[in-house]
């Protein structure tokens, strides 16, 4: 009887700048899957608490301080060289607070993803939760997308929605959106590893089979019916 060849797990490198709560949700999800492995967590800030947590999980960690480099390109080139030593199938931005150069994005095109705390194309950039409140939005959320050279403009893979309550302030809305991100982002990573979705040659997200692409907060149905 012929031996069935083993399939190597897809290798994931995660980039963070802070505590890495989305990174943690992806790592915890990946622990239960033989087809994927988080092989490294890399941060650009020495005070990134997520590095300590990742090291406690037995994951390789790296610190590459962006302030140690003369310009953005020099940092990105050093970061690329370090990432490539891990031979990643996916590079996941999880609260990585750096604008990446075209050189970096092109190097990882179609395997570089990010999560943004708004329903893109609404509110690209920073301060998204306060901007949603100031615009009197009734729903808000987050978007996972492939990264392209234009900031926060890459093809959308999936989004999560939460209601904006009359009692909300920036802190409460931020917490509710982040809670949904911890469900959304790991699910998208699963989709990508399984091949359920990918970036095709036309630069569009293509799905190999129907999947749930929208993650709604449990309170949203009741909120919208009122």
Catalytic residue positions?
116
CA–CA dist 50, 19 (Å, integer)? 4
- Cβ neighbors of 18 (< 8 A, separation 6 or more) are 45, 48, 49, 50, 95, 97
- Cβ neighbors of 195 (< 8 A, separation 6 or more) are 208
Q: Which helix (H) or strand (E) holds 222?
A: helix 220-225
With H, G, I as helix, E, B as strand and everything else as coil, classify residue 7: coil
Tokens of 41: 């967590």
- Cβ neighbors of 204 (< 8 A, separation 6 or more) are 155
Write phi, then psi, for 104 (nearest 5 degrees).
Answer: -65, -50
Tokens of 99: 């604008």
What is the number of other CB atoms lying within 10 angstroms of the CB of residue 121? 10
Tokens of 51: 């590095």
CA–CA dist 46, 65 (Å, integer)? 7
């Amino acid at each position: 009887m012929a031996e069935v060849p083993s399939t190597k797990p897809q290798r994931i490198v995660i980039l963070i700048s802070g505590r890495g709560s989305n990174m943690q949700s992806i790592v915890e999800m990946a622990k239960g899957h033989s087809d994927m492995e988080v092989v490294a967590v890399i941060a650009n800030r020495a005070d990134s608490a997520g590095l300590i947590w990742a090291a406690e999980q037995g994951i390789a960690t790296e610190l590459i301080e962006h302030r140690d480099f003369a310009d953005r390109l020099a940092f990105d080139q050093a970061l690329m060289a370090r990432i490539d030593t891990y031979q990643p199938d996916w590079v996941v931005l999880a609260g990585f607070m750096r604008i990446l150069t075209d050189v970096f994005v092109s190097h990882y095109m179609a395997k570089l993803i990010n999560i943004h705390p708004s329903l893109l194309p609404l509110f690209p950039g920073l301060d998204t939760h306060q901007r949603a409140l100031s615009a009197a939005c009734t729903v808000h959320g987050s978007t996972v997308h492939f990264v392209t050279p234009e900031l926060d403009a890459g093809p959308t893979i999936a989004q999560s929605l939460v209601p904006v309550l009359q009692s909300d302030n920036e802190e409460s809305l931020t917490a509710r959106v982040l809670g949904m991100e911890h469900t959304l982002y790991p699910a998208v990573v699963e989709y990508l590893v399984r091949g359920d979705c990918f970036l095709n040659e036309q630069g569009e997200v293509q799905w190999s089979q129907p999947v749930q692409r929208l993650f709604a907060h449990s309170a949203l149905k009741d909120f919208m019916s009122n």
